Amino acid sequence: MKDVNYEEAVRQLEDIVEKMERGELDVDSMASRLKQAQGLIKLCKQKLKHTDDEIQKLLSDR
């Protein structure tokens, strides 16, 4: 999952949410999709934090 960029991770999360809202997932699928979603959310948070840190560093170097 490390090779997934932010935009792709968000797209995958949206897909999972849509399937859940439409009731397209059975119990077993839902459990694995929720686990996948947790990983995607963690990845997105890390990427956002990294970007924020980089921006703050650039701004403080002025």
Render pLDDT for 22-36 as a digit per residue (tens, 0 to 9).
Answer: 999 999 999 999 999
Residue 57 and residue 51: Cα distance in Å, rounded? 10
Strand segments, DSSP code E, in 1-62 are: none
The pLDDT confidence band at residue 62, using thresholds 50, 70 and 90, is confident
pLDDT at 1: 66
pLDDT at 61: 82
Token code pair at residue 32:
């694995």
Candidates 45, 37, 1; CA nearest to 18 is: 37
State CA 32 to chain mean position distance.
15
Mean pLDDT of the chain: 93
pTM above 0.75, yes or no: yes
pLDDT at 2: 66
Token code pair at residue 25:
């997932």
